[in-house]
Structure 1
Amino acid sequence: MRRQDAPRVRITQRQVAELAGVSQSTVSLVVNGKADARSRIPRATRERVLRVLREAEYVADPAARRLAGGMNRLVGVFTYEPAFPAASRDFYAALLTGIEHQAEQLGYDLLMFTSAPVTHGRRQLFHPANRLRLADGCLLLGLEMDDADLERLATSGLPFVAVGRRETPGVPYVAADYAGATAELVGQAWDLGHRRFAMIHRDSSGESVQDRLRGLIDELSRRDRGALGTAVIEAASTTGLEKEWRRVRRAGASVVFVESPEHALVVLDLARRDGVCVPDELSLVTLGDPARATPVELTRIVPPRTRLGAEALSLLGQILDPQVHLSTDELRVTLPCAIAPGATLAGPADERPAT
């Protein structure tokens, strides 16, 4: 009996072949899942090799298996931003929950690609330390993704799916319909009587940021032929929103759309400080969903983050399945967002009947 503290010896394919009485190439075919009818390996031989593998507790080297064209049932998750610090935890938690649940359902193990260092808040997908090829495929998460990275990955042969809409040709993705949900909320505000709109959005070129902005501008243009002159205000962080708040007030907006829930909470505080009552004097809509309870129930978009993670892994599983052939449209999936009515959107004060 092997002592508990004795070092574990890794058995090789050659030793498995000797124990099973077969060639090493036969063991390789079985380990890599290629011992099918085309390989002409008898079922009894395959079962004998599998029995020896189980008894020897053989674990295939994942890198060697990938080089041999085999599958490890291992999916990588690459996040451009750190996933676990407090600043990003709320964004990633629901996505990773959906990915983990779907991986369990499909029988995949997950590998977080964290060896690439974070530089200026972002990881490099093709950093020399990144071991993408250990996995059968990869999920990409991040607000902004480098177009050159995506183009290179699309031609690399490594299957992948991006979470979030990407404009780069040939990139499979699962995204939330932020433009449609934003347009729906603009329509609700318009129907309540609002005609003076402002928007505070992130200073970012990310597609999800641009989709929200497009949803607002396009819906206002549809409603009023673009004659409103909506104030569009960029904000780089949750600090220093004083300037943005002043611009909203100077614009005379009766409703402000704030992309980030964190920014929305800062705007609420600034409004209270200045004695501006929300929503009686100024309505506020946020185009995201805070992960934690807020002092006021915000009128907001609720993106399906958990489902986004699950559907992204499901799509990657289909791409990895040689029996499944997907059309171009099937490689790009858009999921609807829900709308939470909240308590921060009401008709403008000058449109309400006198009491």
Structure 2
Amino acid sequence: MPGANGRATQADVARLAGVSQATVSLILNGGDTGRRRVGEQTRQRVLDAIRMTGYVANPAAQRLAGGRARIIGVFTYEPVFPRDSRDFYHPFLIGVEAQAEQLGCDLLFFTGTPSPQGRRLLGDGSRRLGIADGCVLLGRHDDKRDLADLLSRDFPFAFIGRRESDAGTVPYVGADYVTATREVVERLFALGHERVGFLGDLRHDEPSVDRASGYHQAVRAARRRPVVLDGTGLTGGEALDLLGDNGLTAAVVWPSGLAPQIRSAALARGMSVPGDLSLAQLGDVEDGSPGDIDWTGFRIPREQMGAAAVQLLFDQLVSPTTLGATALQRTLACTVVPGTTAGPPAPGRVPAGRRSAQPG
């Protein structure tokens, strides 16, 4: 039975023939080797299913596998491409470019269509991606409809960052935010803080969920009570007040751009960081602000993720039969940084934010 868009996929063929999708790929791309490995009877069932469904193999993937075209698309959900080297997304694209060059591939950038929220969407433009052999996608706020469409069309792609879809296995190269966040929170407890708060974005996108998961793991292991606070839309002063209202001496902050604002508000009130309040960033600063503070927290392997995503896409194109679901989803470790913005709580200190002389 064809997929939702009316076009049959390898998954449709596999279901009808009663075999795995890897077996279908092997028969389509494996030549004599594939015939020997699966047997003639299984091969015939698959060929019959192909005729019944009208499945047509992705010609772009076949061209790349045969060495006749090497074009990799790049699409970002962010409103603009990086304007300078301080942009959060710049290292990702450096990695993408370097790995594409190493593999002998050209890059083709797609812009998609703008949305009322100011970010890009693939939408109907996803069909244009077929100009390339496959596509690397990046951006914090993806669109699940795009992922479902790409999966339904068997279009090769790789997302930079963990992404999930009800439509199937999303190929991605992600950062291990769970482990990194857990280790940062464990460090704050080890410094002597009795209560460590999580202040940030509480939406259910994958990057936020992973960080919250790491926080809760550390809190449970320390047998402490979690303090999860919504920092969406808060100024630095408002966030500082919120930490103080909850009697916190330390907090991990996400998105990372909020942490410098809290620090500035604390300094304006005569407080010190980390003397009166310890802060840790759960990732690199996203707003391109100067890196003059040695922040406690972790760094994301952005350049490595970009390169690994290109390699994952290339692997799908040239060796589709060797990649199982596990190989399609790859995770890289973050680098935990001790930094100078976290330290032991000062004896008899006043809770954060309660020395407020004027709003920050």
Answer yes or no: same fold by TM over 0.5. yes
Q: Deviations over 1:140-163 (max 9, x none)?
A: 101122223212211112101111
Counterpart in the other structure of 1:46: none
How far has the Cα of 1:198 moved from its partner? 1.6
- Residues 306-347 of structure 1 show CA distances to partners (whole Å, capped at 9, x for unaligned) of 000000000110000047511211111010000122101111
* Matching of residue 261 in structure 1 with residue 248 in structure 2: no
Corresponding residue of 2:342: 345
Amino acid at match of 1:210: V
Distance 1:181 1:113, change over 3 A: same
Q: Which amino acid aligns with 1:92?
A: Y
Following superposition, the deviation at residue 130 of structure 1 comes to: 6.1
The aligned residue for residue 233 of structure 1 is 229
Shift of 1:240: 2.8
The residue that corresponds to 1:70 in the other structure is 63
Query: 1:101 Cα deviation (Å)?
Result: 0.2
1:81·1:118 contact (CA, 8 Å) conserved in 2? no
Q: Does 1:304 align with 2:301?
A: yes
The aligned residue for residue 57 of structure 1 is: none
Cα deviation for residue 115 of structure 1 reads 4.3
Whether the 8 Å CA contact 2:193–2:345 is kept in 1: the answer is yes
CA distance in 2, matches of 1:315, 1:92: 19
The one of 317, 322, 330 equivalent to 1:325 is 322
Tell me the CA shift for residue 253 of structure 1.
0.5
Q: How many pairs does the alignment contain? A: 286
SS at 2:158 equivalent: strand
Greater relative CO (CA pairs within 8 A, separation 6+): 2
| 1:258–1:88 CA distance, 2 compared to 1 (3 A) | farther
Letter matched to residue 247 of structure 2: G
| Whole-angstrom CA distance in 1 between matches of 2:61 and 2:310 | 24
Partner of 1:275: 270
Residues 249 and 273 of structure 1, relative CA distance in 2, 3 Å threshold: same
| Higher gyration radius (CA) | 1
Structure 1: tracts of 5 or more residues without a match: 1-36, 39-64
CA distance in structure 2 between the aligned counterparts of 1:219 and 1:351, rounded to whole angstroms = 25
SS at match of 2:87: helix
Q: How does 1:23-42 map to 2 (within 5 A)?
A: none
Once the two structures are TM-superposed, the CA of residue 218 in structure 1 deviates from its matched residue by: 1.7
8 Å CA contact 1:66–1:134 kept in 2: the answer is: no
CA contact (8 A) 1:302 1:340 kept: yes
**Structure 2: gaps (5+ residues):** 1-30, 33-57, 350-360
Are the equivalent residues in 2 in contact too, given 1:66–1:133 (CA < 8 A)? no
Distance 2:108 2:206 in 1: 26
The CA RMSD measured in Å over matched residues stands at 2.6
After TM superposition, the structure 1 = structure 2 runs for residues 75-90 of structure 1, keeping only pairs within 5 Å, are 75-84=72-81, 90=87
User: In structure 1, what residue type is equivalent to 2:190?
Assistant: D
One-letter code aligned to 1:288: G
Does 2:283 align with 1:288? yes
Contact 2:301 2:333 in 1 (8 A): yes
**Does the aligned pair in 1 maintain the 2:112–2:120 contact within 8 Å?**
no
Aligned mates of 2:121, 2:85 — CA distance in 1? 17
1:151 & 1:118 partners in 2: Cα distance?
A: 19
Give the alignment partner of residue 111 of structure 1, picking from 102, 108, 112.
108
Q: Is the 8 A contact 2:75 2:110 kept in 1?
A: yes
Matches of 2:179 and 2:268 in 1, distance apart? 33
Matched, 1:140 2:121: no
Asked if the contact 2:75/2:135 (under 8 Å) is kept, the reply is yes
Match of 1:336 among 312, 330, 333: 333
Taking the TM superposition and a 5 Å limit, the aligned residue runs for 1:239-254 are: 240-254=235-249
Instruction: Give the match's secondary structure for 1:218.
Output: helix
Q: Secondary structure of 1:94's match? A: helix
> In 1, are the aligned partners of 2:256 and 2:282 still within 8 Å (CA)?
yes
Letter of the 1:222 counterpart = A
Identity over the aligned pairs, expressed in percent? 37
Which amino acid counterpart does residue 234 of structure 1 have in structure 2?
D
Change (3 A) 1:247 1:331: same
Quote the residue 1:41 is aligned against: none
**Cα distance change, pair 105–339 in 1 and its aligned pair in 2 (3 A):** same
1:286 partner amino acid: Q
1:86 is displaced (CA, Å) by 6.1
Q: How far did 1:241 drift?
A: 3.7
Matches within 5 A, 1:106-185: 106-128=103-125, 131-168=128-165, 169-185=168-184
Please list every run of at least 4 consecutive aligned residues from structure 1 whose deviation after the TM superposition is greater than 4 angstroms. Answer: 65-69, 85-89
Q: In the alignment, residue 311 of structure 1 is paired with which amino acid?
A: A
Moved more, 319-328 or 330-339: 319-328
